[in-house]
């Protein structure tokens, strides 16, 4: 393995904030990759500030490519120096499986200190889209399937309260730091809790949107007033449930026609109700949450909002 720690004197060097902007990887994650796995080794100024060269940035982009293929960060270092022409190996999912098992067992044990550690670790080691796709979304799907036949309100409500507080803190500071479009994000009526909408809020905030979060369903007839008074650029609804036929077939399309901003649907409901809503005024964004949020910007541009 070869990791360059020094570069020729005339090599342009970038501070960590600029590298974060260029790659989309936050500075906490970049530091974790360096300290915990030795994936990158930037130069240091006399005062200890990190400086990255172009080959460091290229290396970070390759790390992202492997992570987006489902390779756990612990296995990436063995793949980085392979020629790019080498066929992509099937990733060993054992590490992801063990991380999911650990997260689920921690949630079910109602071990809040350990859950907080796992939450912050996952967001530090991985880009948010990877953490949600590979860890949080699969665990929530597994738990919701289990709760459908074996309800456990203590575990569900504890997880909801934990995520509500963690995501709420993140949204508070992120909303102050960005001037991006405001997304009005609401749960749908049949969703028994805010798990899906909280995950959506995390992703939207990470992508530079301001988020007004309603973790309980906001009545459809109140949406026009909410959009107007909150100056929202879009309404995004999320649910892990199928939702009622009347809501999907009549009420939701009518609400979309009455709004002067786009209305989108994501989460499991988008997969379960794709056929019914595909050709109507409601934007179907899919059940893959990172992908759903990535579709907002083209939609807002198409609508003339951006």
Band of pLDDT at residue 222, cut at 50, 70 and 90: very high
pTM of the predicted model, to two decimals? 0.82
Asked if 196 and 270 count as a contact pair (C-beta separation under 8 A), the reply is no
Query: Measured between alpha carbons, how far is 217 from 257 in angstroms, rounded to an integer?
Result: 19
pLDDT tens-digit profile of 132-176? 999 999 999 999 999 999 999 999 999 999 999 999 999 999 999
Asked if 257 and 281 count as a contact pair (C-beta separation under 8 A), the reply is yes
Looking at the domain that runs over 161-302, which CATH code has it been given? 3.40.50.280
pLDDT tens-digit profile of 45-101? 888 889 999 999 999 999 998 888 888 888 888 888 776 655 555 555 568 999 999
What are the residues facing 234 on neighbouring strands? 183
Beta-carbon contacts of 256 under 8 Å, excluding residues fewer than 6 positions away, are 263, 280, 281, 282
Residue-range domain boundaries for the chain: 14-76, 94-155, 161-302
Cα atoms in the Cβ-side hemisphere of radius 13 Å centred on 139:
25
Query: What pLDDT shows up at residue 89?
Result: 52
Query: Measured between alpha carbons, how far is 146 from 221 in angstroms, rounded to an integer?
Result: 33
The residue ranking higher by pLDDT, 166 or 304, is 166
Looking at the domain that runs over 14-76, which CATH code has it been given? 1.10.1660.10
């Amino acid at each position: 393995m070869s990791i360059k720690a020094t570069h020729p004197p005339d090599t342009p060097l970038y501070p960590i904030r600029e590298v974060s902007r260029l790659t989309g990887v936050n500075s906490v994650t970049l530091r974790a990759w360096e300290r915990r796995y030795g994936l990158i080794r930037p130069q240091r100024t006399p005062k200890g500030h990190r400086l990255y060269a172009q080959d460091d940035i290229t290396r970070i982009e390759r790390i992202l490519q492997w992570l987006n293929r489902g390779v756990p960060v612990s296995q990436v270092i063995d793949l980085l120096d392979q020629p790019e022409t080498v066929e992509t190996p099937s990733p060993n999912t054992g590490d992801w499986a063990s991380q999911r098992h650990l997260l689920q067992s921690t949630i079910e044990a109602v071990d809040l200190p350990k859950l907080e550690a796992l939450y912050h670790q996952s967001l530090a080691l991985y880009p948010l889209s990877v953490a949600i796709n590979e860890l949080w979304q699969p665990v929530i799907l597994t738990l919701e399937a289990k709760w459908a036949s074996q309800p456990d309100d203590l575990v569900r409500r504890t997880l909801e309260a934990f995520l509500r507080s963690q995501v709420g803190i993140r949204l508070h500071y992120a909303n102050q730091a960005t001037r991006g479009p405001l997304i009005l994000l609401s749960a749908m009526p049949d969703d028994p809790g805010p798990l899906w909408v909280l995950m959506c809020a995390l992703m939207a905030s990470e992508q530079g949107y301001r988020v007004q979060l309603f973790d309980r369903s906001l009545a459809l007839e109140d949406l026009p007033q909410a959009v107007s008074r909150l100056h929202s650029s879009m309404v995004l609804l999320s649910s892990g449930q199928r939702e009622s036929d009347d809501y999907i077939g009549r009420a939701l399309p009518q609400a979309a026609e009455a709004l002067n901003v786009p209305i989108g649907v994501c989460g499991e409901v988008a997969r379960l109700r794709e056929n019914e809503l595909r050709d109507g005024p409601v934007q179907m964004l899919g059940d893959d949450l990172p992908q759903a949020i990535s579709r907002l910007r083209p939609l807002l541009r198409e609508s003339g909002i951006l």
